[in-house]
Structure 1
């Protein structure tokens, strides 16, 4: 039996209400699209019944109808999840409207998220396209009309829901179903001067997210050596293309390897669990050591080499050389003693090398120990790659969240924030999602990175295996005065001034009664240290709000199915209603602290996160956030960099490029105004194109965001008469495939970093009412100076 997706119903959200007036019926007699047995004259032939829980009675009812001869009745006295579905194929270049009539009697959906409604889904129920509103109780016949555009393959599934995604009782009738083609060019989109709500669009809606995840943090850090503490590289726990995923290069024995014994010595390492020990026995001399390939070196750009060495029985110096494919690029030598000593040298490569090598060698016999080898460019931003910092700064992220599963999931690593503090040479190395993390970029460095790109840090504290005192200590370390215990520790680590971090989330992806019961004590302890901080919960629930709502400023769903925009919107509605019911009239907002089109799909399928299509789906979500800016003030897209395609910035050891979604995010963060405007139309504003209109705070700049994720150009009539009879030329920014291949899966890469890019132009309308042609597979941003 086919499992329909657990989508939610939508609601009236000002101009995006999905139930339309009869004005949609054009006098030009629109073409009709047919599906089987729309009037139930053949019983339920052609309809597939899907049931979970009690078996509902599904039958044709000739006695209770709207206008036709028959209706279909779905009824159950026991809790049931039942729906009727029918697959069909439509023209993807057309727009359609499904209409029907719904009636209910004593319908109790209990906690179900869908009841007595019609949905249009993707084929086989793989996500909803559009959904009607829910009904409950006893209602008379009510007309439903849903406008929609089919997906590129034209395949849809029409679904009639009794109760879905939860179980209910009662009776629902459906009657007089009709599907017809509509012409959206007959329905103008009027951009009004009326705000959707009094709240402003917060720049934190354009936030980003970083975590300790495989190569994410290492790809941002400027360190050129992998595994400088010789802990050993390990495979990632997830994959995209398998062996090709790993950027790290291992150490390997070099020189007269036949003469030496290479071991990892657990006795007296500088940090971590081991140091590299190389022992050469016998009386005849030989040169031996360890090497690492894959170093990217810039000509005449100095690097600082540091390492810890100790030896026994070695008479000569330890040599360290940077080598290219054909010659030595730079070198130094140190004379080690019998105790650990830190050595440093400034090395400047004579030429550029994208895959160089470092060799550490000595002339035996004797024994050498090596630990904490580092090769850092002199020019960094606090240790971070300058090109990454510049790219993120241009993105204008507003707020950057640090959190993630490795922080609060013992199965993915034993993270302790204290291990990331103090002298990096003596920090404890750890692994996240299998990837060995460098000790240099600790939590303080991540906060400093946020500040360097003009973003506010949002820090997630650990709940699993930790108590409230640990969270309170963390707040005190970053925000406490220098006379507090943790403030003194911070000062001793070189940072006397408090960081004054405002936003703190309690737990990453935590839920359930244990979390709800512990949450109030975390809130009280953290607020006791710094009453000015804003607290964010993990997943929202009635228990979270009832038990900790008096302290919370945000509840935080994660939305990883934003390609299903109707279900995503309905989830925000559910959280809105949850707050209204359980927050005791406190103004609690929503922070979507992680979002994307998928959190999984590992393997080759994950490559969709790189694509133009993904950028357009993310842009539709940004439009949705604009329309819900009175509720959602923080949103952190996941992830910022690399991360098996989800990173909107991609790097290797010496290059960087931006994915299509980077450019989409940058357009919103750069050009969106603070005021979300109402758009009047008999069509939903999240049709194709999906629209958002914003106005600058001073009222002088009108910006329209339009997402056309269809394969053909879309012509739409726009009415901007609210801003005068004539308009100045508009600045136009268009994100699209510069090669115009007509393929949604195109992307950028190191060889073609600007294939999907933003082009700038100007456009002048002859009046304030005009038709505009939106290119296929594009995000268009139109900006006017207005009075």
Structure 2
């Protein structure tokens, strides 16, 4: 067989290779594309209001103040909103209390401060981070006694001895007034204490404040915006996750004027998850980064009517109740949100869940029948759960959504590493295949497709401080996961990677070395970024030959055997064929022969490579760019060395790729090329006698030109003498001056 011949030649070619290189082969069948299409939806993201990943100084949104509406309380009454603190310097006296209501009609409290003497400095403060490369905008609403001369904003250093900047916000009125100031950027200053103080004896009431860097993009931190823009997620899931089903996740809490949003809006962790990044802000952000919005409606604490109202707010015209509400909020044109999901991980009672899902489906489709609605399915409970759920709801499910995680222990033992880079990946492919079979066997496919609306890669125990998931190992596990989706495009239509939650995509931390807040990407971010930017919509079958490894059986419930060190997927656009390859070997390079249905002579190929010497290497606040992609252009000739611990994409120009099968009777430019295999000559015959004008180039396996013939004139046939050539595979490149076709031939 051709494959054995190629491997034999490769072995001879690599005789000088040492023990740090193993041999592999990848065959790409470009003439037989897989059914279905790989779309940008395969490279989606998932953002969620959980912990401080959306709000707060380390969140995606650019608001630096925590509890900007003064609506949170300390566990023990202090009279001060949490996490603000009292400020009383140099014998200043007074008192603080929280007052029900305030300027924000949907806020719980306002902050009251009463100063009883004229000594020292009196007020409140909290710690904030500064962006030292841009100015900041601040505003606050306040009212108070006429005896108060003015309200002062001051930025102090950590000692409270040095004022970095101070500005008057003006004198209070008896009614609410807004005071806005711009604070110039302070070179070298990365954090400060922001204090609000009063001059003069008397009282003031504070509500709704804001401190944001001017380089924010529609309320999103500039660093996050840039990362998402480069990531190019095809779809963005919002607002959860677990959060989507909480009492804090009613969508109307996140619309309307920004200073009239529901606050504090506590989630189950007793953390304020104020929806300043609400529906309108999400849509604007999605448009800026080129993503489809995906909205998850509240199943556990919401109602079908509430979900239908959200659909109407997004998609209804202005003569509907909620469409008019959207227009009143400044957005008269419908958003036309296409993708909707009912709840998050409702896995307890499949029958009742399915019955209630149908109420949501009918209510939402009544508003807009064109939307695509996903049920939140389950793969961990197997066919029985699927069968019960779909037996009730199946006829009204557009996408069977499911979640999965690539999870392993944090142990440094090699066996845990081998399990992490194989077991979960094998499992998810089995799950995907099973769901496709279930959908097909129950006749729901092709109406119902499948997708993973939440997936992640983490190390247990716990995910809050899982710094190991920022490393190179997780980067190529993510790439392997994406490979699974991309080689199954017939039924699989979308995937959304968890962006935060310590899963290695986007991380915000305080760097003790530089004393700055760092927003940086973990190594896994770059896997998704490379794939979303350098993949095509047509996927091809591959044949991979590679050495294998086994996972020890004694430690893991899922321990695959004969796992190939090399994994790959091939896709193409109209002008480029992309080969995505993971070498999961920790120390050895893979010397790899890459062949198509033909072997091109040579190609100027762009290489995108993500690698690191040790799979535990990771990006960190002090080394945020330790692992980043590198690109180069090479003259590709048949093989490539894939580094250990690497994820690589080779981009071949399709202008030099013209797939041809090896049937010797096929016409090429009106010519028959035979025989194949050949011995001492290659016969080139025309269908009819006519004047030919062709160039023929014959290359050996290593890309060396061994024959070059120009045929011009009137011919019935032409004999190309090959008696001087050694047995083996050759590529015949045929050009008619307008187009080039390559044909694989074998000499025996």
Alignment TM-score, normalising by the size of structure 2: 0.73
Question: Structure 1 residues 588 and 729 mapped into 2: Cα distance closer, same or farther (>3 Å)?
Answer: same
CA contact (8 A) 1:545 1:583 kept: no
Distance in structure 2 (CA, Å) of the matches to 1:605 and 1:214: 12
Q: 1:745 matched to which residue of 2?
A: 616
Are the equivalent residues in 1 in contact too, given 2:44–2:233 (CA < 8 A)? yes
- 2:569 maps to 692
- TM-aligned CA deviation for residue 428 of structure 1: 1.0
- Could you say which residue in structure 2 is the equivalent of 1:133? none
1:277 aligns with 2:132: no
Structure 2 residue aligned with 1:644, among 494, 497, 502?
Answer: 502
> What corresponds to 2:39 in structure 1?
202
- Contact 1:290/1:360, CA 8 A, preserved across alignment: yes
Write the distance in 2 (CA, Å) between the matches of 1:320 and 1:253.
14
Please give the secondary structure, in 1, of the residue aligned with 2:29: strand
State the SS of the aligned residue for 1:569: helix
- Please tell me whether the aligned partners of residues 456 and 503 of structure 2 are also in contact (alpha carbons under 8 angstroms): no
Note if contact 2:148-2:198 (Cα within 8 Å) is conserved in structure 1. Answer: no
Partner SS for 2:108: coil
CA contact (8 A) 2:458 2:503 kept: no
Deviation at 1:665, TM superposition (A): 0.8
Shift of 1:211: 1.0
* Cross-structure match for 2:262: 428
Which residue number in structure 2 is paired with residue 310 of structure 1? 143
User: Residue 296 of structure 1: CA displacement?
Assistant: 0.4
* Deviations, residues 470-510 of structure 1 (Å, cap 9, x unaligned): 11100000110000000111111121111111111111112
Could you tell me which residue of structure 1 aligns to residue 178 of structure 2?
Answer: 342
Q: Deviations over 1:145-186 (max 9, x none)?
A: xxxxxxxxxxxxxxxxxxxxxxxxxxxxxxxxxxxxxx973x
Q: CA RMSD in A?
A: 3.0
Q: Using a 3 Å threshold, how does the CA distance of structure 1 residues 597 and 378 change in structure 2: closer, same or farther? A: closer
User: In structure 2, how many angstroms separate the alpha carbons of the residues matched to 1:193 and 1:557?
Assistant: 31
**1:722 alignment counterpart:** 597
Counterpart CA distance in 2 for 1:463 and 1:773 is 50
Q: Secondary structure at the match of 1:764?
A: strand
Q: CA deviation at 1:330?
A: 4.5
3-state SS in 2 of match to 1:474: helix
Distance, in Å, in 2 between the alignment partners of 1:600 and 1:523 is: 36
State how far apart, in whole Å, the 1-side matches of 2:482 and 2:225 are: 23
**Number of positions where the alignment pairs a residue of Structure 1 with one of Structure 2:** 585
Other-structure match for 2:126: 292
Choose 653-662 or 621-630, whichever is displaced more. 653-662
Give unmatched runs, 5+ long, in structure 1: 1-21, 28-92, 96-182, 236-247
1:568 pairs with one of 412, 415, 428: 428
Q: Does the 8 A contact of 1:477 with 1:490 survive in 2?
A: yes
C-alpha separation in 1, matches of 2:538 and 2:315: 33
CA distance in 2, matches of 1:364, 1:668: 61
Deviation at 1:520, TM superposition (A): 1.6
| Cα distance change of structure 1 residues 404 and 297 upon mapping to structure 2, 3 Å threshold | closer
Deviation at 1:620, TM superposition (A): 0.6
1:161: which partner in 2?
Answer: none
Higher alpha-carbon deviation: 286-295 or 667-676: 286-295
Counterparts in 2 of 1:717 and 1:442: CA distance versus 1, 3 Å: closer
Alignment of 1:438-457 (within 5 A): 438-457=274-293
For the structure 1 residues 631 and 600, does the alpha-carbon distance in structure 2 shift closer, same or farther, using more than 3 Å as the test?
Answer: farther
Query: What SS does the corresponding residue of 2:396 show, helix, strand or coil?
Result: coil
- Rounded to whole Å, the distance in 2 between the matches of 1:603 and 1:592 is 20
1:249·1:292 contact (CA, 8 Å) conserved in 2?
no
Q: Would you say the 8 A contact 1:406–1:414 is kept in 2?
A: no
2:650 pairs with 1:782 = yes
SS of match in other structure, 1:379: coil
Equivalent of 2:471, from 611, 614, 627?
611
Q: 1:548 aligns with which of 382, 393, 397?
A: 393
Question: Separation in 2 of the partners of 1:729 and 1:405?
Answer: 44
Aligned to 1:731: 606
* 1:763 counterpart residue number: 634
Residue of 562, 579, 582 corresponding to 1:707: 582
Distance 1:781 1:467, change over 3 A: same
Q: Is 1:211 aligned to 2:74, yes or no?
A: no
Counterparts of 2:84 and 2:321 in 1: how far apart (Å)? 41
Cα displacement string for residues 290-333 of structure 1 (whole angstroms, at most 9, x for unaligned residues): 1122330436x333221121223633111112345644324132
Question: Is the 8 Å Cα contact of residues 689 and 714 (structure 1) preserved in structure 2?
Answer: no
Note the C-alpha offset of 1:438: 4.1
Q: Is the 8 A contact 1:481 1:497 kept in 2?
A: yes
Distance in 2 between the 1:347 and 1:553 partners? 51
Aligned to 1:596, what secondary structure does the other structure show?
strand
Q: Does the 8 Å contact 2:504/2:525 carry over to 1?
A: no
Partner deviation per Cα, 1:699-744 (whole Å, 9 max, x = no partner): x42221111122122334424252444121322221012xx3xx22
**Matching of residue 538 in structure 1 with residue 376 in structure 2:** yes
Would you say the 8 A contact 2:509–2:518 is kept in 1? yes
For residue 597 of structure 1, give the secondary structure of its aligned residue in structure 2. Answer: strand
State how far apart, in whole Å, the 1-side matches of 2:571 and 2:581 are: 12
2:27 is aligned to 190
Q: Which residue of 2 aligns with 1:523?
A: 361
